[in-house]
Amino acid sequence: MDEEVFPAWSWSVDRCLKAYNVKLEKGLSSYDVEKQRELYGWNELKKENRKPVWQLFIQQFDDMLVKILIVAAFISFVLARFEANETKESGFEAYVEPSVIILILILNALVGVWQESNAEKALKALKEMQCESCKTIRDGYLVPDLPARDLVPGDIVELRVGDKVPADMRVAVLKTSTLRVEQSSLTGESVPVLKATRPVLNDDCDLQAKENMVFAGTTIVNGSCVCIVVNTGMSSEIGQIQKQIHEASMEESDTPLKKKLDEFGNNLTIVIGFVCLAVWVINYKYFLKWEMADGWPTNVQFSFEKCTYYFKIAVALAVAAIPEGLPAVITTSLALGTRKMAQKNAIMRKLASVETLGCTTVICSDKTGTLTTNQMSVMSIFTFGGKTTAPRMFPVEGTTYDPKDGCIVDWKCFNMDANLQSVAEICAVCNDAGIYSDGWVLRVTGLPTEAALKVLVEKMGVPDAKAKNKIRCCEWWTKRSKRLGTLELDRVRKSMSVILADGSVVPMDEACRKLLLSRHAEMSSKGLRCLGLAYKDDLGELADYDGEHHPSHKKLVDPTCYDPPREEVHSAIEDCRGAGIKVLVITGDYKSTAEAICREIRLFHEGEDLGGKSFTGKEFMGLSPSKQRDILSKPGGKVFSRAEPRHKQEIVRMLKDMGEVVAMTGDGVNDAPALKLADIGIAMGITGTEVAKEASDMVLADDNFSTIVSAVGEGRSIYNNMKAFIRYMISSNVGEVISIFLTAAIGIPECMIPVQLLWVNLVTDGPPATALGFNPADVDIMKKPPRKSTDTLIDSWVLFRYLVIGSYVGIATVGVFVVWYTQPSFMGIDLTGDGHTLVTVSQLRNWGDCSSWPDFSATPFAVGGNRVISFSNPCDYFTTGKVKAMTLSLSVLVAIEMFNSLNALSEDNSLLTMPPWKNPFLLVAMAVSFGLHCLILYVPLLAQVFDVVPLGLNEWVFVILVSAPVILLDELLKIVTRSRKRTTKIKLA
């Protein structure tokens, strides 16, 4: 009997009982229970099969950059092993490179496993919403604490105030005059819902319209009843939500940045493969020689040693091309971003979401608790004067249940006349609500409207000043007035009354009545819920009131609810308009209520025609797909009311299919599937359910919509800073690739070895790149439209800039190597003070033929003061003897990258307008990186591992002179960039 063939809400109670062959007073028999369990199973949510940790760990390596690194590490390890076998030595230094690469990959994989293992806690939170036991009638007996897991369709269950509903059930009998259920977490309705027993004559109605059904996970807040279990376990509404959460998790897509980095990795793979092969092939003459005879090669000579050497150069090029430190720097930058957002009450649960938030194009916001406070509050008091008929209006400040949140404007609390005292007394006595503190959050028992009236009484005070300091105001009034009986509020009476031991009659003439009615109409038009307060000692014609057929029933009106909007929301809506972000309100509340709130927060202008802008979920889903897309694509705000979970999901899915980056807010269980499906799921930290929080990417600590807008600005700033350090790291890597390519192309010894490149990419580049994440945000960051998800990370002009800067890095790095071997001085700086031998450029390019040079000798030279580099074989001058030249090349590379980090402060702005001290963290990071470089130069053990030597003062001056021009070069490129943008802007205008 699934819900499609058994619409219990549209059937009478007798028909439902007959369908299950059960009686209310008897319940199911044990035999029937077993039969039902065979059909429907246990009343529990399905446990999802989670991937084992080892499988999650393996998945972390499914990335193109990671695969390249694995191959490079494997080849490095094989070559190191081969060299160790040849030399019969341990060769510890040769194993440093593959060991470091593997260590980095393992650490990244562990971080990925940790993040994914925390991703599916939403399902666990759903299970925690289920109650543990319930009162059930079985075999004619009441079982007071039957495990909720044992329930089957057809069971008869008793519910009362405070009970958590154990399954989806049809209300059969009301044991009190009213029954209210708090189901906002499931449907989004802002107030507890009145339930009844009469059928809803509609086989296909939305969840909110099923007024005779109670749903698993909701709570009884008023009254008691007897129900028939209809749906259990995964067939219940909460079970359907679990299915939707699981389906949404299957549809999760990569973040915009991840997609761009993957695309970059794939392109980089092709380039690396081609360049590595080219470097190896163009040096074939050094390891493969032959003579031609009759057009055929003869006397072929192959040097495995030289072949291996140039293969190692190709591997070094791969190490240089891959920005190994990029994943670590991105993770660090995102972590810093989450900390900054947390300070603004936006708690990020997933690091990657920080960047995604910055490119948000649409915010789909729940109404209750996000745009509004989800706390009823009194906005104003209207009364007549004490002894006159002069009307008085007292505005009331504050939108929460905290009595200290605002006050009554122009209120003299210790000078209340009889009218105002009556207002306070009625609000305090005719009230069953309670307010209590749950940590630093105020929560309510009972009805929100009555809680709001209690808060009002606390703000009004009491006539007795001494009592005010000793006792709460509500307690003072309730002790002062004796409550004899209660006619409680229900869906028929639409009012609540109490009988007091003392009281008096307040006369009202026609003029007062007209004034009251006009004030009522004025306040109702603003979406306010208007309550009339009065007392009398004679009930008169209402003494025998018995329901809607009573002749006086027409005097009782049905006002709309009012959940006040947050004061900050309207300015946040304006910020969204300025930032080019569309706002859609999706709520389970009534259409009229949702529209009134949207007008008040200025999503819509006063008097604006809402045709094509306001729909119920059912109305919107009834439109054709093309019409739906047309509505969603139009600019301006939209509101969707009476929306069920599937409606929210479909709207989010459509927006994503249209290329939008969607942020979805919510606090209820019903919001969880859409939160999971959205690019950014945003849950409420105070009023949000654990299900919503666990399904989200971000949690708002203050439940405030304006915090989302602030976080979007922070996300945009973080993305700009990430682009800055990606630009910095990639341009540096391009320089390393070009330097190695030039080395191989002109045939000189390799000027840097892989372990040195790895050190630069991981350690010396890391601190400046991370510090670029602290660049200050642009002042107009929320005045620009969001970037498109299709925008490339590296466009053609940026790539050209990379190549220009990279070419200079490569030429400078190789150039100092050549100058040291071939020139006695550079710009007046003596380079021969260490006594090394000078050679010609031709000799350097043909160093492999050294053994055939006549009378060639190499003089020992000094390094680091005491150490002398000497050679048993003169040709070793180009291998072990290149240690000083390699150190100069490495130092130039590090120095250039430090200067280049200054260029990355701004993509377009000159250092004259964006000076280095705008980001003091960068200056500190540069000092740290340069200090680390000096560490490996001047600590003997590290110098041996990295094959470097100390440099003297002259050599440092040489390094700085060669490195500094990179700043001037990029300043020229920035001038061209600014000129291009001005031209483009003029053309667009």
Model pLDDT for residues 488-510, shown as the tens digit of each residue: 554 444 554 443 533 344 466 67
Which residues is 830 bridged to in the sheet?
825
Report which of 675, 940, 905 is spatially closest to residue 778, judged by C-alpha positions: 905
DSSP, collapsed to helix, strand or coil, labels residue 119 as coil
CA distances from 564 to 348, 447, 452, 616 (A): 27, 16, 11, 21
DSSP, collapsed to helix, strand or coil, labels residue 583 as strand
CB burial string 77-103: b at 16+ within 10 A, e below: bebbeeeeeeeeeebeebbbbbbbbbe
Mean pLDDT throughout 300-321? 72
65-118: per-residue pLDDT in tens? 677 667 767 776 776 676 666 555 555 656 766 776 677 677 767 766 665 554
- Are 333 and 770 in contact, with CB atoms under 8 Å apart? yes
DSSP, collapsed to helix, strand or coil, labels residue 274 as helix
Identify which has the larger pLDDT, 400 or 619. 619
- Are 212 and 179 in contact, with CB atoms under 8 Å apart? no
CA 678 to chain centre: 10
Q: What is the pLDDT of residue 499?
A: 36
**Which is it for strands 582-586 and 483-487: parallel, antiparallel or unpaired?**
unpaired
Encoding tokens for residue 184? 């906002």
User: Which H or E element spans position 193?
Assistant: strand 193-194
Identical fold between 13-32+130-238 and 717-777+795-987: no
Identify which has the larger pLDDT, 517 or 621. 621
CA distance 650 to 867: 73
Most confident of 195-199, 259-263, 571-575: 195-199
Encoding tokens for residue 388? 């006159």
Q: Where residue 1 falls among pLDDT bands split at 50, 70, 90?
A: very low
Residue 909 carries which side chain, given as an amino acid letter?
N
Residue 4 pLDDT exceeds 70: no
Q: At what angle do helices 645-657 and 625-633 cross, to 10 degrees?
A: 70
Report which of 648, 428, 411 is spatially closest to residue 533, judged by C-alpha positions: 428
Q: What is the pLDDT of residue 97?
A: 63
- Are 632 and 583 in contact, with CB atoms under 8 Å apart? no
Quote the Cα angle for 642-647-652, to 5°.
Answer: 125
**Which is it for strands 825-826 and 829-830: parallel, antiparallel or unpaired?**
antiparallel
Q: What is the mean pLDDT of the chain?
A: 78
- Are 181 and 192 in contact, with CB atoms under 8 Å apart? yes
Fold of 380-495: Calcium-transporting ATPase, cytoplasmic domain N (3.40.1110)
Encoding tokens for residue 5? 């063939």
Mean pLDDT throughout 757-773? 79
Domain boundaries, the chain: 13-32+130-238, 346-373+563-703, 380-495, 717-777+795-987
Residue 541 pLDDT exceeds 60: no
- Are 863 and 883 in contact, with CB atoms under 8 Å apart? yes
Report which of 175, 163, 165 is spatially closest to residue 225, judged by C-alpha positions: 175
- Residue 154 phi, psi (nearest 5): 105, -15
Half-sphere exposure of 646 (CA within 13 A, CB side): 9
Encoding tokens for residue 58? 């393996």
Report which of 389, 472, 378 is spatially closest to residue 423, judged by C-alpha positions: 378
DSSP, collapsed to helix, strand or coil, labels residue 908 as coil
Mean pLDDT throughout 879-902? 91
- Are 159 and 141 in contact, with CB atoms under 8 Å apart? no
Residue 414 pLDDT exceeds 60: no
Q: What is the pLDDT of residue 555?
A: 39
DSSP characters over 401-460: S-TTS--BTT--TT---HHHHHHHHHHHHS---EEEEETTEEEEES-HHHHHHHHHHHHH
CA 288 to chain centre: 57
Quote the Cα angle for 199-551-223, to 5°.
Answer: 45
Report which of 360, 137, 339, 350 is spatially closest to residue 249, judged by C-alpha positions: 350
Residue 32 pLDDT exceeds 80: yes
545-595: per-residue pLDDT in tens? 554 455 554 433 333 345 667 677 778 888 888 888 898 988 877 788 788
Q: What is the pLDDT of residue 324?
A: 62
Which residues is 227 bridged to in the sheet?
157, 171
Residue 700 carries which side chain, given as an amino acid letter?
L
The owner of tokens 């001037």 is 968
Number of helical H runs and strand E runs in the chain: 35, 29
Superfamily of structural domain 346-373+563-703: HAD superfamily/HAD-like (3.40.50.1000)
CA distance 664 to 24: 43
Task: Please return the burial class of 687, using the count of CB atoms within 10 Å of its CB with bins 0-12, 13-18 and 19+.
Answer: buried
Residue 29 pLDDT exceeds 90: yes
Query: What percent of the chain has pLDDT above 70?
Result: 79
Half-sphere exposure of 673 (CA within 13 A, CB side): 26
- Are 691 and 676 in contact, with CB atoms under 8 Å apart? no
Identify which has the larger pLDDT, 704 or 827. 827
Fold of 13-32+130-238: 2.70.150
Encoding tokens for residue 11? 């059937």
Residue 637 pLDDT exceeds 80: yes
Q: For residue 823, how many other CB atoms are within 10 A of its CB?
A: 12
- In total, the chain counts a number of residues equal to 989
- Are 106 and 81 in contact, with CB atoms under 8 Å apart? no
Architecture of the structural domain at 717-777+795-987: Up-down Bundle (1.20)
DSSP characters over 917-983: GGSHHHHHHHHHHHHHHHHHHHSHHHHHHHT-----HHHHHHHHHHHTHHHHHHHHHHHHHHHHHHH
Residue 525 pLDDT exceeds 70: no
State yes or no: is 849 an active-site residue: no
CA distance 489 to 529: 15
CA distance 152 to 453: 42
Give the CA-trace dihedral at 873, 874, 878, 884, to 10 degrees: 100
Query: 11 Cβ partners below 8 Å, 6+ apart?
Result: 19, 170, 199
The owner of tokens 């025609």 is 609
- Are 648 and 667 in contact, with CB atoms under 8 Å apart? no
DSSP characters over 710-771: HHHHHHHHHHHHHHHHHHHHHHHHHHHHHHHHHHHHHTPPPSS-HHHHHHIIIIISHHHHHH
Residue 172 pLDDT exceeds 90: yes
* Catalytic hit among 63, 163, 366, 970: 366
Q: Where residue 536 falls among pLDDT bands split at 50, 70, 90?
A: low
Mean pLDDT throughout 881-910? 89
CA distance 760 to 320: 9
DSSP, collapsed to helix, strand or coil, labels residue 490 as coil
Query: 517 Cβ partners below 8 Å, 6+ apart?
Result: none
CA distance 476 to 458: 10
**H, E, C per residue of 94-108:** HHHHHHHHHHHHHHH
